[in-house]
Amino acid sequence: MATGELRSAARVARPLAAVVLAGGEGKRFRSSTPKVLHALCGRPLIGHMLHALAPLELARTVVVVGRESDRVKEAAKALTKRKLSFALQEEQLGTGDAARVGDDALGRFTGDVLIVPGDSPLLRAETLEGLVSHHRATGAAATVLTAQLTDPTGYGRIVRGAGGAVDRIVEEADTTQEERAIVEVNTSVWVFDRAALRTALTKIDRANAQQEFYLTDVVSVLREKGEPVEAFLAQDATEALGINSRVQLAEVGALLRGRINEGLMLDGVTIIDPASTFVDAGVTVGRDTILQPMTHLHGSTRVGERCEIGPNVRLVDTVVGDEASVINAVAKDAEIGARAQVGPFTYLRPGAVLGEGAKAGTYVEVKKSVIGKGSKVPHLSYIGDAEIGKNVNIGAGTITCNYDGETGVKSKTVIEDDVLIGSDTMLVAPVRVGKGSVTGAGAVVSRDIPPGQVAVGAPARPVRKRKVKPQKKKGGRTK
């Protein structure tokens, strides 16, 4: 039996550990923020890698940190449910040095080690799984994920020997003209037999154009010892794309957006113009919802089924119920109920909650307020710190005066069910308008109004009992 076959036989269900290389300086980014914390489709680069690792069964996951290590640690912890350990690379001496630091942190672990870069956000979990299976099936000492790129500039090139086996990897800076023509590149994603990796890492040096320890040099070290090195070609070459500059951040960002939009469309979402639709990784959109041009869905936003969103909408961490319509609006940390209508030109700030069938219309700003089922704020209003009941109509120009400029205290406005607020009413909080009451145009409500009253003037005072019109048929439209 060849050594490879022996290894392969012993490898069934061997433990797997992962090392994420995230200690680099990211010089080409020219940023005060570490490269791996720059976001793509709402998720830091390192988050995309942790996401790709999520379905894998891993005995340990080590993240190598260097520059601004505390920031990277905190971010990484928040981006995965998996338990992480961190290894500090004191000096950024190259990927070979980073791998050594990561390997040291694995202690007595025996098995295979998956090494991934922190800056390749298009890598898929299935590809990692395929790579690991290939490595185990062949029993290689090392298996590198490669890809064929139409423009391989900047990547390490895979140099294969006469028999087609991988001989060595040469970095762009160290290539000959002939080697530069090679289109098969190193993705920086690897699986190693841990013992083979550990020994090989002690044999690499800095005798190269960048005077760094290259992880790629491990290939020739292993080959010289007669150890088998395998290459596993990625089906989708875009998975190889790393991000070294903000130019690449934008290019890869466009590809990731395209992938997210395609996924949504295949799941039953209509996207009128994918090129102008920006959906973060992790956002969900229900079937038969239509996303119009210039729609931006960010963070933990969830949109229901059969909604119409856009044009010109930006929703951040916002939940939208089924069959809602949102046009020309900005919302953050808001909840839009089923069949509710928002816009055009509406700003929903944190804590804005619209009940089923409610409306926040033109030039309306809502903050930390509940607008009850079927209630409407159709035009030109500010609603802050308010609790509005069911079937309330708020006239144009109404403002909840929630802030006392002298004391700095914010107070609450309560408007009970079936109230009609006349145009241009000022509700001076704290204040309550009782069930079924009406305010006249221009009323300044600074004292509570009991239920069933008509209140007018400044300050508004009840003048008589409200006459109640006979109930309209359900489904009848109110203006």
Going edge to edge, which strands form the sheet with 431-433?
Answer: 284-285, 302-303, 319-320, 335-336, 352-354, 369-371, 386-388, 413-415, 431-433
Residue with smaller CB distance to ligand UD1, 185 or 454: 185
| Binders of ligand UD1 in range 218-257 (CB under 6 A) | 242, 244
Residue 346's binding partner among ligand UD1, Ca ion, none (Cβ under 5 to 8 angstroms by kind) is none
Give start and end residues of each alpha helix (H) in 109-160.
Answer: 125-138
CB of 108 to ligand UD1, least distance (A): 23
Judge contact between 292 and 306, C-beta under 8 A: no
**69, 138, 143, 216: which one binds ligand UD1 (CB under 6 A):** 216
Count of residues touching ligand UD1 (by CB under 6 A): 30
Residue 121's binding partner among Ca ion, ligand UD1, none (Cβ under 5 to 8 angstroms by kind) is none
Q: Does 24 bind ligand UD1 (CB under 6 A)?
A: yes
Residue 152's binding partner among Ca ion, ligand UD1, none (Cβ under 5 to 8 angstroms by kind) is none
What gap in Å lies between CA 191 and CA 229, rounded to an integer? 10
Single-letter residue type at 278: F
CB of 155 to ligand UD1, least distance (A): 3
Q: Does 438 bind ligand UD1 (CB under 6 A)?
A: no
CB of 251 to ligand UD1, least distance (A): 14
Q: Does 144 bind ligand UD1 (CB under 6 A)?
A: no
Run of H or E including 360: strand 359-367
Quick one: tokens of 227? Answer: 């150890």
Q: Is 141 helix (H, G, I), strand (E, B) or coil?
A: coil
| Binders of ligand UD1 in range 155-214 (CB under 6 A) | 155-156, 169, 171, 185-188, 214
**97, 103, 112, 119: which one binds Ca ion (CB under 5 A):** 119
Buried b (16+ CB within 10 A) or exposed e, 372-398: bbbbbbbbbbbbbbbbbbbbbbbbbbb
Residue with smaller CB distance to ligand UD1, 176 or 471: 176
Residue 215's binding partner among ligand UD1, Ca ion, none (Cβ under 5 to 8 angstroms by kind) is ligand UD1
In the shown chain, the binding pattern of residues 203 to 232 toward Ca ion, with x for contact by CB under 5 A and - for none, equals ------------------------------
In the shown chain, the binding pattern of residues 76 to 95 toward ligand UD1, with x for contact by CB under 6 A and - for none, equals -------------x--xxxx
Residue 185's binding partner among ligand UD1, Ca ion, none (Cβ under 5 to 8 angstroms by kind) is ligand UD1
Comparing every residue's Cβ against ligand UD1, the nearest one is 156
Q: Does 215 bind ligand UD1 (CB under 6 A)?
A: yes
Residue with smaller CB distance to ligand UD1, 235 or 478: 235
Run of H or E including 190: strand 184-193
What gap in Å lies between CA 411 and CA 390, rounded to an integer? 21
Cis amide bond preceding 344, omega within 30: yes
8-state DSSP, 366: E
What gap in Å lies between CA 259 and CA 447, rounded to an integer? 56
Residue 391: left (phi > 0), alpha (psi -120 to 50), or beta?
left
CB of 347 to ligand UD1, least distance (A): 39
Q: Nearest CA to 458 among 437, 476, 439, 474? A: 439
Q: Does 117 bind ligand UD1 (CB under 6 A)?
A: yes
Burial label for 216, CB within 10 Å (0-12, 13-18, 19+), is buried
Confirm whether 379 is a catalytic residue.
yes
Judge contact between 406 and 362, C-beta under 8 A: no
Residue 439's binding partner among Ca ion, ligand UD1, none (Cβ under 5 to 8 angstroms by kind) is none
**23, 139, 242, 310: which one binds Ca ion (CB under 5 A):** 242
Burial label for 309, CB within 10 Å (0-12, 13-18, 19+), is buried
Residue with smaller CB distance to ligand UD1, 110 or 211: 211
Options 104-112, 238-246, 259-267, 333-341: segment touching Ca ion (CB under 5 A): 238-246
Q: Does 121 bind Ca ion (CB under 5 A)?
A: no
Q: Does 152 bind Ca ion (CB under 5 A)?
A: no
CB of 20 to ligand UD1, least distance (A): 8
Run of H or E including 195: helix 194-201
What gap in Å lies between CA 183 and CA 42, rounded to an integer? 31
Comparing every residue's Cβ against Ca ion, the nearest one is 242
What gap in Å lies between CA 279 and CA 285, rounded to an integer? 10
Catalytic residues: 379
Residues at the contact surface with ligand UD1, assessed by CB under 6 A: 21-24, 64, 66, 89, 92-95, 97-98, 117-120, 155-156, 169, 171, 185-188, 214-216, 242, 244
Residues at the contact surface with Ca ion, assessed by CB under 5 A: 119, 242, 244
